[in-house]
């Protein structure tokens, strides 16, 4: 099996607080490290009551300080919300503190609603500058050139690995043109997955960072002792999506036995479309599902998202996934 990694949002669970969520995020990373997962990334989302990873670089440091070998990064920083110079300083500092372990995934979306974009003092039009901002950030992370008057300190010379994130063809085209690794967000938006991967691979231009295409595919994976138990655990994530469609974002709720009694047919259809790239079941089901996904996509790496309310069962889910996949660390690292 190819390398496995984790995408984490620091979900706040009903009955628990935000500090619990952040401490669980660190504990999850520690468990993932023990199991041989390649990396753990946290995502920048704003104005969401259940997500605690908005200050992405701070959470990356929190995780990295509690681990030793697993790569830690942003999946991603929403670059239109930030000056590339500041991002270079932040992630250059992280690379200086935790050398050889920091990743920087970059997204083009704001990661929030338009009202919050204004609260961030940003313009919705900033997304149009994304390609130029990526190049500017890359330059600030490179060794300073002779006569360079503005230097990111720390940052310059750290060469923090950049990734392009996306769920459409735009990110695939940009990653290919810049010769950067590409991570597709199929865990929430799988519709363009295969077309985006084809565009990325067909148009890839080798770069100093990467000589051949490297594609990571997002997938929701919830594993348990049996298929039936896993389906019950998955209802927490399904309720989160139903609440989102209702315009009532909520904290992560305990699993329920009958999801059909919770959501409407329309909500079920919407959620099922967004969660189509999911593997839910016991060890055998997970093994078959992951192998089939890799066969369909020829992914170089899988990034797993898993919203499970019971934290002990979430840790057990990771164990089952690692066992089913056959040791995530068995493949030599290329990135």
Q: Please provide the average confidence, as pLDDT, over all residues in the chain.
A: 94
Report in angstroms the alpha-carbon separations of 204 from 104, 167, 171, 179, 197.
19, 17, 12, 6, 10
Provide the whole-model pTM.
Answer: 0.94
pLDDT at 326 over 90: no
Q: What is the mean pLDDT of residues 8-22?
A: 98
pLDDT at 194 over 80: yes
Could you report the per-residue pLDDT of 242-289, keeping only the tens digit for each?
999 999 999 999 999 999 999 999 999 999 999 999 999 999 999 999
Q: What is the mean pLDDT of residues 302-308?
A: 96
Give me the domains of the chain, ranges plus CATH numbers: 4-330 (3.20.20.30)
């Amino acid at each position: 099996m190819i390398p496995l990694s984790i995408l984490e949002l620091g979900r706040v669970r009903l009955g628990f607080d935000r500090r619990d969520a952040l401490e669980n995020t660190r504990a999850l990373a520690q468990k993932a490290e023990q199991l041989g997962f390649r990396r753990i990334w946290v995502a920048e989302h704003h104005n969401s009551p259940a997500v605690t990873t908005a200050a992405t670089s701070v959470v990356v440091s929190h995780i990295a300080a509690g681990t030793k070998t697993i790569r830690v990064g942003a999946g991603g920083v929403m670059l239109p919300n930030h000056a590339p110079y500041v991002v270079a300083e932040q992630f250059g500092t992280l690379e200086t503190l935790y050398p050889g372990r920091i990743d920087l995934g970059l997204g083009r979306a704001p990661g929030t609603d338009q009202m919050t974009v204004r609260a961030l003092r940003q313009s919705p039009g900033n997304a149009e500058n994304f390609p130029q901002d990526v190049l500017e950030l890359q330059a600030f992370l490179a060794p300073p050139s002779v006569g360079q008057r503005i230097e990111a300190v720390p940052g310059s010379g750290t060469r923090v690995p950049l990734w392009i994130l996306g769920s459409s063809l735009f990110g695939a085209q940009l990653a290919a043109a810049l010769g950067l690794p590409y991570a597709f967000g199929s865990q929430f938006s799988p519709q363009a997955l295969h077309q985006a991967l084809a565009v990325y691979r067909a148009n890839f231009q080798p770069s100093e960072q990467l000589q051949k295409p490297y594609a990571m595919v997002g997938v929701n994976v919830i594993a348990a002792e049996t298929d039936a138990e896993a389906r019950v655990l998955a209802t927490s994530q399904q309720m989160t999506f139903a609440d989102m469609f209702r315009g009532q974002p909520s904290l992560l709720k305990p699993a329920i036995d009958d999801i059909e009694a919770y959501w409407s047919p329309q909500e079920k259809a919407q959620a099922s479309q967004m969660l189509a790239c999911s593997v839910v079941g016991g060890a055998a089901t997970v093994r078959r599902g992951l192998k089939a996904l890799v066969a369909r996509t020829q992914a170089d790496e899988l990034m797993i998202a898993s919203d499970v309310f019971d934290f002990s069962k979430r840790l057990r889910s990771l164990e089952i996934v690692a066992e089913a996949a056959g040791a995530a660390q068995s493949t030599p690292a290329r990135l």
